[in-house]
Structure 1
Amino acid sequence: MAEEASGEKTEKPTPKKREDIRKKGEVAKSKELSSVVVLFSGLFAMGIYGSFMLSKVQEITKSLLSNPTITDLTIHGVMEFSRHLIISFVVILAPLLAAVFAGAVLSNIAQVGFMVSGELIKPKFSKLNPFKGLKRLVSMQSVMELFKSMVKLIIVGATAYLTITHEMDNVSMLGELELVSIFHYIFATFYNIFLKCSIAMLVLVVIDYAYQRWEFEKRIKMSKQEIKDEYKKTEGDPQVKSRIRAIQMEMARKRMMQDVPKADVIITNPTHFAVAIKYNGLEMNAPKVIAKGAGEIAARIKSLAADHNIPVVENKELARNLYKLVEIGREIPADLYQAVAGVLAYIYKLKGNYNR
């Protein structure tokens, strides 16, 4: 039961998990929002530049019908004429295309920020698996896409039907209008239909975006075991790290114990602390702590001192200060010079080396 519980994806994704899936191009994004923004951008551009674009198209059409400019009927002449004609139409449509492009880019940036990833366009043979394909067809995502398609069809169909029904009286009068007026009316009617559809689609966009966020967060949830595995990969296995630290401490302790026989004196607490002091006036500026320990290690230091005939001096306060303030391999601080010098002088006197 514990293994099953640990395998359930109930935990929020870690920042690293979010970053990894973002690198793969997987983000919470509503396609409907992008579609509606693109549609609004196009309608906005048409609302501002529509009359200008229509007048330019009329000018080109009149020019083509009333005064044909193609005189060279060779392939080169036809190609040149077509090139000028295409460039003219591209220039006319440039504001509309620019608005649509800007809307598409900004709508995506607003949802997911600036992101560049090539993971989604890489070929994956797993996508060719028919069983996975069937699974995707009956997934909740497919059901949601079907629901959105049906809603969009209903919105567009109902909006177009109601708008055209409302315009039926005007449609019957189109026969009395000039061709230009008919085009203006058709353009205005289609513009009205698209605008109403876009406004109605906003409701679908809100629902779809909320669903995409919910589905994405649900999909990227992690199990407790996954979080533990991720922590082990990033921070290292706590047990392994603890074992490594223990080995490192043991190796350092062994090196320290090897230096104890080199000490001039062992200063003790007498039972709690033991600090080994070494001093060589030719190599050192001040006495140095070459080993120290508390409890069992202190006892081992004193045992080694006894085996190598190293003097042991009891000085509770000095031993405690040296143990707490001075790291192994460091020279003693200036405020402890006098106390340590007194101990060394006493030891040298006992050895008959006071004048050394």
Structure 2
Amino acid sequence: MADSAQDKHLPPTERRLQKAREDGQVARSRDLAHFAVVAAGLALVMFAAPSLTQWLRDLMATGLRFDVRMVTSPQMMGERLSQLMYPALALCLGLGVVTGLVAMAAAVVSGGWVWTFKPLMPDFSKLNPLTGLGRIVSKAQIGDMLKACLLALILASVGAAYLWAHLNDFALTQSMPLPAAFIAATDRISTGLWLLMIVLAASAMVDVPLQRFMHRNRLKMSHQDMKEEFKQQEGNQEVKGKMKQRMREGSRRRMLAAVPEADLVVMNPTHYAVALKYDDASMGAPRIVAMGADLLALKIRDVAKESKVPVLQSPPLARALYAHGELDREIPLALYSAVAQVLAHVFQLRAALAGRAAWPSDLPPIPVPPELDPHNTARPTEDKA
């Protein structure tokens, strides 16, 4: 059963946030973009105010200068209109490019840089009118609409209050000479824009963290989502368990295949079994080629007997080798003396059986350091293969 929206109360993981970013879903603040555009436009106007005032005055003077020939010739009026339109178009185009770049920079600041074409891919599910209606009347859309209406109301109130307070000043510009009227109007408009920019700055300061909070809130996860993500990252646990079981089985087969090549198997007498091999030409010390506990120990013993590998019952040594030794590694240094005595006895037995030496005496007790014998500790029940 699908989780309802009420079940999604867990914060989104880093993986979910990264996947949403790859899909083009990031927190964007429109109020920050509005503030940046107005601030950049105001800064540009203030920086270029003298030159802009002179340019507008010259443009207006040129536009109002005409003679009878221009009035009576529609073609010349069209040429004059083109001459006046191109500078104005260049000014608007330059201002549009600057404000566009500023808006892009504000978007990057609020949500970071995201390079993806996924939002541009066709999504036919959006053509469903019921789904579209659900998006329109959603809480997020209603909240954005109310926030935009509130901001528009505040901006309109501030602008209306400013115009009402300076209505006489704007009216006096009609009686001023044209250069002075331009300067006065520029000052009044700049001051009004400053007030609007303050309102937009306050709105952006609230909207940026609000959009981030809403973005994370939309990406909240349920317990089922967490489980699915964990499965995707870690893999299916049943499959991993089967793979580990196959790896253990393969390791056991390889280990049992190495038992016939061993020189000796030390047992305890049924709980642990450790197969040792030593070649003085290629090894610096005896190496453990197989080891196991319980059923695996019995299997190692059976393979050793079938392969006529000597099996020695030495519980302390078997326990110490199993507890402190590692498969396919040399025996611990502290057990060199004990293993050397055992291997020497085995080699003497082989020589006696081959008629190359006298029959050796019984093997004396094997000295094993007490700290290496885990006899008093919990007995391992899992084989270390």
TM range (shorter): 0.7 to 0.9
Aligned partner of 1:200 in structure 2 is 199
Q: 1: CA distance between counterparts of 2:121 and 2:301? A: 69
User: How far apart, CA to CA, are the structure 2 residues paired with 1:92 and 1:311?
Assistant: 97
What's the counterpart of residue 255 of structure 2? 256
Equivalent positions of 1:55-134 (< 5 A) are 55-62=54-61, 86=86, 90=90, 94=94, 96=95, 100-134=99-133
Q: 1:175 to 1:249 in 2, by over 3 A?
A: closer
Change in CA separation of 1:111 and 1:5 when aligned onto 2, cut-off 3 Å: closer
Residues 288 and 330, structure 2, Cα contact 8 Å, conserved in 1:
yes
Deviation at 1:82, TM superposition (A): 5.7
Structure 1 residue 3 displacement after superposition: 8.2
Shift of residue 192 of structure 1? 2.8
> Counterpart of 2:145 in 1: which secondary structure?
helix
* Equivalent position of 2:244 in the other structure: 245
Residue by residue over 1:21-63, the C-alpha shift from the partner in whole angstroms, topping out at 9 and shown as x without a partner, is 0111111121111111211121122122222212133234445
- Residue-by-residue CA offset, 1:262-316 (whole Å, 9 max, x unaligned): 3332122444422112345666565432211123322332243344443222334
Matches within 5 A, 1:281-320: 286-320=285-319
Matched residue SS, 1:13? coil
Amino acid at match of 1:248: M
SS, match of residue 55 in structure 1: helix
- Residue 251 of structure 1 and its aligned partner are, at CA, apart by 2.5
Is the contact made by 2:173 and 2:185 (CA closer than 8 Å) also made in structure 1? no
Q: What is aligned with 1:146? A: 145
Maintained 8 Å contact 2:262/2:289: yes
- The CA distance in 1 between the partners of 2:330 and 2:159, in whole Å, is 91
What CA distance in whole angstroms lies between the structure 2 residues aligned with 1:277 and 1:145? 75
The 1:7/1:118 distance shift into structure 2, 3 A limit, reads: same
1:204-243 mapped onto 2 (5 Å cutoff): 204-243=203-242
- Provide the C-alpha distance between the structure 2 equivalents of 1:271 and 1:83, rounded to a whole number of angstroms: 106
Using the TM superposition, give the Cα deviation of residue 249 of structure 1 relative to its aligned residue in structure 2, in angstroms: 1.0
**Count of residues in Structure 1 that have an aligned counterpart in Structure 2:** 348
* C-alpha distance in structure 1 between counterparts of 2:64 and 2:3, whole Å: 77
Asked if 1 retains the 8 angstrom alpha-carbon contact of 2:3 and 2:224, the reply is: no
| 3-state secondary structure, aligned to 1:222 | coil
Task: Indicate the SS of the match to 2:243.
Answer: helix
What does the per-residue CA deviation read over 1:132-164, in whole Å, with 9 as the maximum and x for residues that have no partner? 221122112221232133223322322232222
In structure 2, how many angstroms separate the alpha carbons of the residues matched to 1:93 and 1:193? 24
- Any conservation in 2 of the 1:33–1:107 contact (CA below 8 Å)? yes
- Do the aligned partners of 2:63 and 2:84 also contact (CA within 8 Å) in 1? no
2:259–2:275 contact (8 Å) kept in structure 1: yes
Stretches of structure 2 lacking an aligned partner (at least 5 in a row): 68-72, 358-385
Post-superposition shift, 1:165? 1.6
Question: Bigger shift: 216-225 or 304-313?
Answer: 304-313
Distance 1:150-1:209 versus aligned 2 partners, 3 A rule: same
Cα separation, 1, equivalents of 2:270 and 2:83: 100
Does the aligned pair in 2 maintain the 1:53–1:92 contact within 8 Å? no
Distance 1:305 1:56 in 2: 103
Match of 2:36 in 1: 37
Deviation at 1:123, TM superposition (A): 2.7
Give the TM-score normalised by the residue count of structure 2: 0.76
Change (3 A) 1:302 1:7: farther
- Does the alignment pair 1:161 with 2:190? no
Q: Percent identity?
A: 28
Separation (CA, whole Å) in 2 of partners of 1:26 and 1:126 = 18
Question: CA deviation digits over 1:217-255, x for unaligned, max 9?
Answer: 221011111111111111112333223212211222133
- Aligned-partner residue type, residue 297 of structure 2: A
Distance of aligned partners of 1:334 and 1:117 in 2 relative to their CA distance in 1, 3 Å threshold: same
- Change in 2 beyond 3 A, CA 1:84/1:314: farther
Q: Which letter maps to 2:90? A: V
Task: Please tell me whether the aligned partners of residues 269 and 314 of structure 1 are also in contact (alpha carbons under 8 angstroms).
Answer: yes
Indicate the RMSD between aligned Cα atoms, in angstroms: 3.7
Q: Which runs of 5 or more structure 1 residues have no equivalent in the other structure?
A: none
Seen in structure 2, the aligned counterparts of structure 1 residues 5 and 241 have a Cα distance that, compared at 3 Å, is: farther
Which deviates more from structure 2 when the two are superposed, residues 243-252 or residues 320-329? 320-329
